[in-house]
Structure formats: structure tokens, C-alpha cells
Amino acid sequence: MQTTELESTIYAAMTADENLMELLPNRESSIYHLQAPSVYPDLPIIVYSPISDVPVLHGDNSETLHRVTIRLHIVTGENDYSELYAVIKNLMAELGFTRVQSTPFRDEDGEFIMITDWKIILGDD
């Protein structure tokens, strides 16, 4: 599976998860790929993007496995991301991802953002 296919799989899994959709004010329109709009719409929103795609295993002069890291932002107006985070954590685990790190912070506009990196190892098809 290539990274672009993985990104589509993540989006499809998020939009198909009714528990997640119930927590987002604009359902699918609250999920952004690569970059959020410059002015946040109704919060919370989710932004996801690949940050790394590196070879893991080579054989016979070709790459056979690669590790992809996806960075996922949960943007909320308050310090209340726990329900969203729990749903996303289960969803990403079901897709085969492992959490690498989580970092909460507040941006310059006062919005609370939980950033989590997720990794998965994929074989080249």
C-alpha cells in the first residue's frame, strides 16, 4: 500500500465511524487533510497528514517494507479532547497503527490542540 492509499483509508475509516461523526459538529466537513483552514470553523476539527515515509527493509536491491508516520491534530476550543482522542485511538489501532507520541498545546489564538503521531509498517504491493 502506498501512502496516498493509506491517507484515503484513514479518511474513509474516520468518516465511517459513527461515534466519531457524532462528536464533530460538521461531521465529514470537520476532517481536513494536510492543512486546516486559516480561520477555524466550528470546533472541534481533525487535521491529519503524513509526515514521514521511510524504507524499513530492503531485499534484492528493492524496498520491501516502509514505515509511514501520520500526524493527527485534534483542535478544540477548550482543553477537552478526551472523547475524540479515545475514539481516534481505537480507530487507528484497528487500522494497524501504533501511537508514537502525543503533545498537547495551546496555539496563539487560544485553541487547544492535541497532536498525536501514529506509525505503521507497510509492505510494497
Per-residue pLDDT, 12: 97
Per-residue pLDDT, 31: 96
Q: What's this model's pTM, rounded to 2 decimal places?
A: 0.89
User: Average pLDDT of the chain?
Assistant: 91
CA-CA-CA-CA torsion for 112, 3, 10, 115, nearest 10 degrees? -10
Q: Which tens digits make up the pLDDT trace of 68-106?
A: 999 999 999 887 889 999 999 999 999 999 999 999 999
Task: Scan for cell 521511510, then name that residue.
Answer: 54
CATH of the domain at 31: 3.30.2000.30
Q: Which domain holds residue 88?
A: 3-123
- Report d(CA 49, CA 70) in Å as an integer: 6
Residue 125 has pLDDT above 90, yes or no: no
Give how many domains the chain has, as a whole number.
Answer: 1
Residue 41 has pLDDT above 90, yes or no: no
